[in-house]
Amino acid sequence: MIRAAAAFAATSLLLAQAPILAPDATRLKADVYTLASPAFEGRLTGAPGQIKAAHLVADRFKALGLQPLGKSPEPYFLPYGLELRTATVAGSTFTLGSRSIPFGPGAATYRLTPLETKLLFVPEGVDPGPAAKGQWIARFAPASGEPDFAALLQATAASGATGLLLLARPEKDTLAPLRERALRFLQRGRYGFPGDGASPSGPPLAALDGASCHALGLDLSALHKAAAPIELGAFRIAPKMEVTPLTPVNVAGLLPGSDPKLKDEIVVLSAHEDHLGIVNGQLHPGADDNASGTAVLMEVARLLKEAKPRRSILFLSVSGEELGLFGSRAFVANPPVPLKAIVADLNTDMVGRNGVKTIAVTPARIPDATGTLTRDTREIAAELGFTLTDEADEYWKRSDHYTFAKAGIPAIFFFGGMEPDYHQATDTPDKVEPEKLANVAELLRRLTLKVADSDTRPSALPESAWKAWKWPSR
């Protein structure tokens, strides 16, 4: 009896020392407002605002006593190399035959890399037939309204052509908005890893106004009267590309496991803190996307700091998600822990809106594509009164969990649902629901402990399952 009483007292003492903490909606709200504030400049990857966000997360991890995995002087940082590839208008040209014109308001393209091809003019309503295969085609912009560029490119690809040059109609130029967007795209550029051999480019699309057509020797009136395709000759796009090296960072903090046999296995909780920065002079604060997920990540770290999970838990705040999952890809390519030790990735992205007790989870509804993580989430959601939706299945390839899944690691994705403010300057913190953030944090806390304390690792989905999935275009 004395021993039993002593054991009971010791257990009670341990429980008193490690109480179950509750999510703090006020703290979560404050974190979202901070990350989405003008001081963080929209958190564009590699820019000062994103590095500032990384410092905020790192400071929180340090305050919680999580173990860093990097090197001094910023031990919570995991830096990686990235390149921004842009094209300047000055020095970039179009050439048709022996005539050249510069890029500008009247002549623009989405291409960032050089192109040499043949150009075939195709009159309206005419099937170019096999002549279009392997070259660009030129055609007039539609007669009314702003063209549906996606449909035009789809038709171009279906004809076997590799690109589309849109010509302003003799009577009206409707292509000015397209050219303006294309020039902005060139100046904003695309990103890639150094030395990856990639040739970044945008849609295979270019547009010319009447003056540019004339300067290239095109007679728009004659082309407008043509009844059959006309070979226009050699066509060249020569953008002047510039490469800017960047060193963005991921932020990682480790909560060591308590079980001697399982502590070397790791559960990763991920969320991306980056967003779009300042676009066309407008701040894109990214409150829901993804200050919300970053706030939840930091809050769950606080909730679990004294939990003594059997497996270790790695809290991972990544950058580069908006640009192409670069941060998670860099982490998996050069992990600070053995990749085979990671048993799961639990990822949160845009979890602050669309109902305080509703969350989308993937994989959810696709036949034969649910695993133990989805099963466990459903059980916990039922306990908490959550409504689970399947909307996230349509975004399976769009956030950082996908990088882990491709590496054979079981992964699950929590997503609050799409909204009209997605990737807009209107994604502001006042629209994020703090109560929902708290509810998601509790759901993630319970799932994390369930995975960390289980006798067995979660089951991975067969690659053949998720690679075969089909989604509507988003």
User: Which of the four pLDDT bands, split at 50, 70 and 90, describes residue 34?
Assistant: very high
CA separation for the pair 68, 400 (Å, rounded): 21
Provide the Cα torsion 58, 59, 61, 62; round to 10°.
Answer: 120
Residues 175 and 260 grouped into a single domain: no
313, 452 contact by CB (below 8 A):
yes
Task: Return the axis-axis angle of helices 293-304 and 25-35, rounded to nearest 10°.
Answer: 140
Residues 113 and 185 grouped into a single domain: yes
What confidence score (pLDDT) does residue 22 get?
Answer: 94
What confidence score (pLDDT) does residue 428 get?
Answer: 98
Judge whether 13 lies within some domain. Answer: no
- Can you give the three-state secondary structure of 352-412, one letter per residue? CCCCCCEEEEECCCCCCCCCHHHHHHHHHHHHHCCEEECHHHHHCCCCCHHHHHHCCCCEE
Domain C-terminal end among 211, 244, 277: 244
What confidence score (pLDDT) does residue 13 get?
Answer: 41
pLDDT at 354 over 50: yes
What confidence score (pLDDT) does residue 295 get?
Answer: 98
Residues 90 and 67 grouped into a single domain: no
Taking only the tens place, the pLDDT of each residue in 224-243 is 999 999 999 999 999 998 99
Residues 406 and 339 grouped into a single domain: yes
pLDDT at 270 over 70: yes
User: Which of the four pLDDT bands, split at 50, 70 and 90, describes residue 393?
Assistant: confident
Tell me the backbone φ, ψ of residue 139, rounded to 5 degrees.
Answer: -150, 160
400, 270 contact by CB (below 8 A):
yes
User: Which of the four pLDDT bands, split at 50, 70 and 90, describes residue 395?
Assistant: confident
Enclosing H/E stretch for 177: helix 176-188
Burial tier of 73 (Cβ tally within 10 Å: 0-12, 13-18, 19+) = exposed
Tokens of 56: 């905020």
pLDDT at 12 over 80: no
Taking only the tens place, the pLDDT of each residue in 278-323 is 988 999 999 999 999 999 999 999 999 999 999 999 999 999 999 9
Residues 341 and 454 grouped into a single domain: yes
- Can you give the three-state secondary structure of 403-448, one letter per residue? HHHHCCCCEEEEECCCCCCCCCCCCCHHHCCHHHHHHHHHHHHHHH
Average pLDDT of the chain? 90
Region of 341 (left: φ > 0; alpha: ψ -120 to 50; beta: rest) is alpha
pLDDT at 7 over 90: no
Judge whether 7 lies within some domain. Answer: no
CA separation for the pair 118, 98 (Å, rounded): 13
User: Which of the four pLDDT bands, split at 50, 70 and 90, describes residue 11?
Assistant: very low
Taking only the tens place, the pLDDT of each residue in 173-211 is 989 999 999 999 998 888 999 988 766 678 899 999 999
What confidence score (pLDDT) does residue 6 get?
Answer: 44
Judge whether 342 lies within some domain. Answer: yes
Taking only the tens place, the pLDDT of each residue in 115-174 is 999 999 999 889 888 989 999 999 999 887 677 888 888 889 999 999 999 999 988 898
User: Which of the four pLDDT bands, split at 50, 70 and 90, describes residue 110?
Assistant: very high
Over residues 379-407, the mean pLDDT reads: 88
Residues 77 and 149 grouped into a single domain: no
Taking only the tens place, the pLDDT of each residue in 80-99 is 999 999 999 999 999 999 99
CATH label of the domain that carries residue 407: 3.40.630.10
The three-class DSSP label of residue 276 is coil
DSSP 196-240: --------SEEEE-HHHHHHTT--HHHHHH--S-EEEEEEEEEEE
CA separation for the pair 93, 95 (Å, rounded): 6
Q: What is the pTM of this model?
A: 0.85
Judge whether 472 lies within some domain. Answer: no
**C-alpha to C-alpha distances, 101 to 136, 217, 262, 364, nearest whole angstrom:** 18, 11, 65, 53
Residues 56 and 151 grouped into a single domain: no
Domain C-terminal end among 244, 270, 304: 244
The three-class DSSP label of residue 194 is coil
Residues 220 and 281 grouped into a single domain: no
pLDDT top residue among 324 and 368: 324
Burial tier of 5 (Cβ tally within 10 Å: 0-12, 13-18, 19+) = exposed
What confidence score (pLDDT) does residue 148 get?
Answer: 81
User: Which of the four pLDDT bands, split at 50, 70 and 90, describes residue 390?
Assistant: confident
Region of 445 (left: φ > 0; alpha: ψ -120 to 50; beta: rest) is alpha
Range of the domain at 52: 21-81+247-467
Beta strands 342-348 and 190-192: pairing type?
unpaired
What confidence score (pLDDT) does residue 5 get?
Answer: 44
Residues 61 and 91 grouped into a single domain: no
Judge whether 12 lies within some domain. Answer: no
Q: Please state the domain count of the chain.
A: 2
Task: For the chain, give the percent of residues with pLDDT over 90.
Answer: 74
pLDDT at 3 over 80: no
pLDDT top residue among 206 and 468: 206
Task: For the chain, give the percent of residues with pLDDT over 70.
Answer: 91
CA separation for the pair 44, 120 (Å, rounded): 40
128, 120 contact by CB (below 8 A):
yes
Residues 254 and 393 grouped into a single domain: yes
Residues 108 and 214 grouped into a single domain: yes
What confidence score (pLDDT) does residue 462 get?
Answer: 66
Residues 275 and 394 grouped into a single domain: yes
Judge whether 16 lies within some domain. Answer: no
Domain C-terminal end among 244, 259, 278: 244
